[in-house]
Amino acid sequence: MLLLTIIVYFHFNLSSSQGNELPYMTSDVKEVSGKLFDYIIVGGGTTGCPLAATLSQDFSVLLVERGGSPYGNPLVIDKRYYGFSLLQTDEFSSVAQSFISKDGVKNHRGRVLGGSSAINGGFYSRASDNFVERAGWDEELVKESYEWVESRVVFTPELTPWQIVFEFGLLEAGILPYNGYSLEHIEGTKVGGSVFDNWGKRHTSADLLEAGNPKNITVLLNATVKNIIFHTNDNAGNENETRAWGIRFIKSDGSSNKIHEAYLHRPKNSSPWGDVILSSGALGSPQILLLSGIGPHEHLKNFDIPLIQHLKGVGQGMQDNPCIALLVDKMPMNRLPEPPQVVGIADGLRFIIEAGVAPISFNASRMPIAAKIAFPVSKGKLELQSTDARQNPSVEFNYLEKDKDMNECVKMAELLERVAKSESIALFLGLKPQEKLMSSTDELRKLCKNNVRTYYHYHGGCAIGSVVDDDYKVYSVNGLRVIDGSTFQESPGTNPMATLMMLGRYQGIKLLRQRRDASSNL
């Protein structure tokens, strides 16, 4: 029955118009091979799509995505199949690519136009004011960029019975005040925005491409970037100047190892160049830098990769927010999946708690309540496992390695238990309310150690200050930027999706302004 539904849905969506504003998309690498563009964006994900749409106002843009199109795929678009994409993964073509960190924790990354906004829970919530201030961003432009995103892909959810009950459970546990519907990251219990509309259709960051100039954007799908092409020459001071010149790419499906190239357009006279911009996420962007010869010299030598620039920070400072989940139902049942719509933000924004209905197979689901530590201090690193860009790099997050994180996890588990065993949730599930809560501190520490998992909000690897500067330019290399979650040293808000979408728009506007200012000064 599920297969029949998918086939019908697929054909319906192919015949339905997606709007005439989407740019040209192709999976034929030959159509792009050898061509010139003002900007090349590697990664058509949560940040890359709004960035491409914005830059296309004035410039030609090549957007390269290693996965395919989300349109016509019910595992992406239809809320009824939320979470199913994480159950069905393969080596080269699935919309979610699974990986297991060296910590032994299973995880996923998006491999589809729209990136992780196409496979996540769709919960939309901005970063805190403090995060924006510490990032040094222009507050007014941040606000305008969030609103640009929200006017296109964000909706007010209609709460399900389970989400309403969970809301009461949060309030019973003392997660106050009640803030109603809000997109702001504030203490208490609130209803957030959603990229699922009220008809159950997901709107990924790929939809933001409709806001661009379709004549100026080419989207290359199912193509994996192997590395960046550089050109080195002597400048007036007889110092070597290294500049990103283009990219090398292959087909993602493994059917061919033939290498293709695309290049940045070389401006006439002294007009400014465009950039190669990595927006491939916290695993993809540091991996591509390493494969291109930018990173720790000793590590690159292990793979016989010629050194372009020794930057020891590439792949360092990897973090993932430790998560603990409790199942409140007694056994798997055939419930429709539900993404989270309500969140509890507790203890000075330190703990984030959400609930949903998560599929564990195509005909069974469970009801977890999950909490994450918002500000972990434990860090890990990312390294290459091979020179095949289609394969996952090696990553270790060192969950709960620092005592501070373990102590935070114990406090979080106590709060999580109060929510899960609240009277509202017990009555909803037909259970007798439990007066006795779990456990001693030792038992909670054991729970944390044995059950830590991911909240899918990993970040780092190309941090500002060690790999890129405040304008997201890679140090000591011209024409190369990284704009995505790999530059973060903290996951913003309840989750990073809203801020990553905003960042694409924000940095796109800044680049347009810089180019216009530079042209006016010629």
Side-chain-side CA neighbours of residue 399 (13 Å): 26
Q: Rounded CA gap, 121 and 195, in Å?
A: 9
Q: Rounded CA gap, 1 and 17, in Å?
A: 26
Q: Rounded CA gap, 343 and 30, in Å?
A: 46
Rounded to the nearest 10 degrees, what angle do helices 403-420 and 161-172 cross at? 120
Query: Based on C-alpha coordinates, what's the Rg of the chain?
Result: 23
Cβ-based neighbours of 345, under 8 Å, separated by 6 or more: 175, 185, 186, 187, 188, 189, 190, 351, 352, 353, 494
DSSP-derived letter for residue 79 is: G
Helix (H) or strand (E) holding 73: none
- Alpha carbon distances (Å) from 329 to 120, 339, 359: 22, 16, 13
Q: Rounded CA gap, 387 and 226, in Å?
A: 8
276 in Cβ contact with 49 (< 8 Å): no
Q: Which of 204, 214, 228 is nearest to 41 (CA)?
A: 228
Q: Which of 163, 194, 517, 203 is nearest to 356 (CA)?
A: 163
Q: Which of 126, 76, 54, 120 is nearest to 281 (CA)?
A: 120
Residues 108, 185, 260, 457: which is the catalytic one?
457
Look up 457 and say whether it is catalytic: yes
Strands 260-264 and 36-37 turn out to be parallel
Q: Rounded CA gap, 137 and 216, in Å?
A: 28
The residues assigned a catalytic role are 457
